[in-house]
């Protein structure tokens, strides 16, 4: 059989049958990529993650999104949305018809239930607020200074918003995300009224949503003055006082309309962390400082710098009635700046010896004996300390006074020996310095019942020796009796 003769291929056919070149492969890949959903969604998520990083990194307090970043945000949202639409389209073509119909009906039903729940929540909020409005709201007569201090401390934009402060919510959200825990709240005064009047103290997302809806309803039905009256009548000012009338009488023996700027700053400064049993100078001064700073920021034209300075410098002894002084706590002894040749210097001025004030008498005697033995046995010449009497609560407690507030503790940060050798109270690799520190520590343990250092308390006492004479229950009960007597305005 005669074999057929093959003719050579034409040039056009040869080009068509040739393997694809790089350009054709690239075009085919782009065409495939354009029909895929995950690269588009990934690009959008990358843009949104970048903008979230910018939001957390830069200290801007303006409401997000910022105008200069809007194009990037819009691009990211569009890309994510396009990727999701591509995914749904692919699922639509691959899923059986009956399965897709069932999923569509479930989605429509869920959306309907969501809308119904939102409408029901709105109606519930309106009904609750309407019931509150039908009752007479007693107007509390307060001084202008107290109302200004309350607004400045709790809600600086109270007179401008309509229930929600978006700037405060944004600022609180940023700081909480940065700290990875709740460190600041963004609630307005109206939201706090809604929480106190209708909701419980639990901190959940559901409660925050209900709180916002109730706040909007309150703003529609009440005036700003009525909302302020409801707030100051229900807020906790500490020491068992709820409401400004009780607080003004307990703390200053006044009516609310007679509170001046200094009184008001003290009261509103206690609201973030109300004292439970003891009122300390640290709580009063820190709260007063923050309150006066916010008053100066939000009301710069109403109060002069001289008025603010006078309010900041007013001494609390004999002014704030529930405050128990150092002497009432048993801290009646003082020590000179130099004891048996050992100088006591504060950490902020380590070259100048200063007396130690407000010490418990027995603790003062133990300090004298410790200084005498340390001078003779170790050649100690100077002790740099962090303080003896510090009027504050024990760290991590809202009810217990610290030993420093009773004049029963001293924190020693560094020691200076003969020859000018300075050794800080922290772990030391030098064997000579470590031996000196160990000798000082053993002397401290000889004279004081409780000594904390990095060996037995490595977290809080990594860089100092804490010596203490613990108080017994009788001392604490006596202090409580004096505090309660002062609250009632009678002699103990």
Asked whether residue 449 carries a pLDDT value surpassing 80, the answer given is yes
pLDDT of 71 reads 66
Asked if residue 154 has pLDDT above 50, the reply is: yes
DSSP bridge partners of 466:
411, 452
Separation between Cα atoms, residue 321 and residue 247, nearest integer Å: 11
Give the mean pLDDT of 177-196.
Answer: 78
In the predicted structure, residue 6 carries a pLDDT above the cut 70: no
Query: What mean pLDDT is reported for the chain?
Result: 80
The tokens for 235 are 């807020």
pLDDT tens, 317-329? 878 888 888 888 8
- Calpha distance 362→403 (Å, rounded): 13
Task: State yes or no: pLDDT of 283 exceeds 80.
Answer: yes
Q: Which residue has the higher pLDDT, 253 or 78?
A: 253
Flag the least confident range among 175-184, 376-385, 404-413: 175-184
This prediction's pTM: 0.72
Mean pLDDT to the nearest integer, 440-458: 91
Q: Which CATH number fits domain 333-478: 2.60.120, 3.30.1490, 3.40.50, 3.30.1380?
A: 3.30.1380
- Tens-place pLDDT, residues 133-151: 777 667 778 899 999 999 9
Q: Mean pLDDT check: name the lowest of 99-103, 212-216, 451-455.
A: 99-103
Percent of the chain with pLDDT over 90: 30
When pLDDT is averaged across residues 171-196 and rounded to a whole number, the result is: 76
Q: Is the pLDDT of residue 380 over 90?
A: yes
Tokens of 232: 């100051």
More confident residue, 262 or 161: 262
pLDDT score of 486 more than 70? no
Taking residue 123's Cβ as centre, other Cβ atoms within 10 Å add up to 10
Find out if CATH 3.40.50.1220 is the number for domain 144-313.
Answer: no
| Residue 149 tokens, joined | 């201090």
Would you state the pLDDT for residue 196?
Answer: 83
Top-confidence range, 56-65, 88-97, 458-467: 458-467
Say yes or no to pLDDT of 271 above 50. yes
Which range is least confidently modeled, 22-26, 291-295, 332-336, 399-403? 22-26
Paired tokens of 44: 């959008």
Question: Which residues fall within 8 angstroms of residue 408, CB to CB, at 6 or more apart?
Answer: 331, 359, 360, 363, 468, 469, 470, 471
Q: Residue 250 pLDDT > 70, yes or no?
A: yes
- For residue 244, which of 264, 218, 226 has the smallest C-alpha distance? 264
pLDDT at residue 490, as a whole number:
47
487 CB burial (10 A radius; 0-12, 13-18, 19+): middle
- Could you read off the pLDDT of 284-306 as tens digits, one per residue? 999 999 999 999 999 988 999 99
Rounded mean pLDDT, 88-93: 70
Q: Average pLDDT in the 170-196 region?
A: 76
At 39, the pLDDT band (50, 70, 90 cuts) reads low
* Res 447 pLDDT > 90: yes
């Amino acid at each position: 059989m005669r074999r057929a003769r093959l003719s050579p291929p034409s040039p056009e056919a040869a080009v068509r049958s040739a393997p694809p070149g790089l350009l054709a492969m690239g075009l085919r890949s782009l065409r495939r990529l354009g029909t895929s959903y995950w690269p588009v969604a990934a690009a959008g998520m990358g843009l949104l993650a970048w903008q979230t990083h910018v939001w957390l990194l830069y200290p801007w307090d303006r409401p997000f999104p910022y105008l200069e970043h809007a194009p990037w945000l819009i691009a990211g949202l569009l890309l994510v949305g396009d990727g999701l639409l591509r995914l749904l389209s692919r699922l639509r073509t691959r899923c059986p018809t009956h399965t897709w119909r069932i999923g569509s009906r479930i989605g429509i039903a869920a959306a309907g239930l969501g809308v119904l729940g939102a409408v029901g929540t709105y109606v519930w909020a309106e009904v609750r607020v309407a019931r509150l409005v039908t009752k007479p709201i007693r107007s509390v007569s307060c001084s202008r200074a107290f109302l200004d201090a309350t607004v400045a401390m709790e809600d600086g934009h109270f007179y401008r918003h309509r229930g929600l402060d978006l700037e405060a919510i944004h600022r609180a959200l940023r700081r909480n995300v940065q700290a990875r825990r709740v460190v600041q709240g963004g609630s307005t005064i109206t939201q706090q009224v809604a929480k106190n009047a209708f909701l419980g103290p639990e901190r959940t997302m559901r409660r925050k949503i209900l709180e916002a809806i109730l706040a909007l309803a309150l703003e529609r039905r009440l005036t700003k003055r009525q909302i302020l009256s409801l707030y100051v009548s229900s807020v906790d000012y500490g020491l068992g006082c709820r409401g400004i009338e009780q607080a003004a009488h307990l703390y200053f023996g006044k009516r609310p309309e007679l509170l001046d700027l200094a009184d008001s700053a003290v009261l509103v400064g206690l609201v973030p962390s109300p004292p439970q049993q003891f009122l300390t100078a640290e709580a009063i001064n820190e709260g007063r400082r923050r309150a006066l700073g916010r008053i100066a920021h939000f009301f710069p034209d109403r109060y002069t710098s001289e008025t603010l300075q006078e309010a900041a410098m007013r001494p609390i002894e004999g002014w704030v009635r529930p405050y128990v002084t150092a002497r009432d706590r048993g801290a009646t002894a003082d020590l000179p700046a130099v004891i048996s040749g050992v100088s006591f210097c504060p950490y902020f001025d380590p070259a100048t010896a200063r007396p130690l004030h407000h010490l418990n008498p027995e603790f003062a005697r133990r300090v004298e004996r410790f200084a005498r033995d340390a001078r003779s046995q170790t050649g100690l010449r100077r002790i740099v300390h962090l303080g003896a009497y510090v009027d504050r609560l024990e760290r991590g407690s809202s009810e217990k006074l610290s030993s420093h507030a009773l004049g029963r503790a001293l924190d020693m940060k560094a020691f200076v020996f003969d020859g000018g050798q300075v050794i800080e109270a922290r772990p030391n690799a030098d064997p000579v310095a470590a031996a000196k520190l160990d000798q000082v520590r053993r002397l401290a343990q000889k004279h004081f019942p409780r000594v904390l250092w990095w060996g037995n308390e490595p977290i809080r006492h990594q860089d100092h020796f804490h010596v203490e004479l613990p108080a017994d229950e009788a001392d604490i009960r006596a202090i409580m009796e004096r505090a309660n007597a002062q609250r009632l305005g009678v002699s103990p």
